Amino acid sequence: MVSGGRRVIRTALLRARSPALAVLLACACDKEQPPELPPAEVYVPPVAVHGQWRGEVAGVEGTLQVDDLAGPRYRGMFQASGLARRYVLNMEQLEGPGPDGEALPSNLVRFTWQDGRGDRGEGWLLVNREGSALTGSFGRGDGTTSGAGEWTFVRTGESPPPTSEPEEPDESDEQDSDATGP
Domains, the chain, with CATH or none:
1-30 (no CATH), 51-155 (2.40.128)
User: Do strands 60-68 and 103-114 pair parallel, antiparallel, or not at all (unpaired)?
Assistant: unpaired
* Confidence band, pLDDT 50/70/90 cuts, at residue 120: very high
Range with the poorest average pLDDT among 9-23, 29-43, 75-89? 9-23
- Of the given ranges (14-18, 91-95, 119-123, 138-142), which has the lowest mean pLDDT? 14-18
8 A C-beta contact, residue 85 and residue 62 = yes
Angle between helices 19-28 and 2-15 (to 10 degrees): 160
Q: CA–CA separation, 100 vs 118, rounded Å?
A: 44
Q: How many CB atoms lie within 10 A of CB 120?
A: 15
Angstrom distance (rounded) from CA 137 to CA 108: 12
pLDDT of residue 179: 43
In tens, the pLDDT along 101-111 reads 899 999 999 99
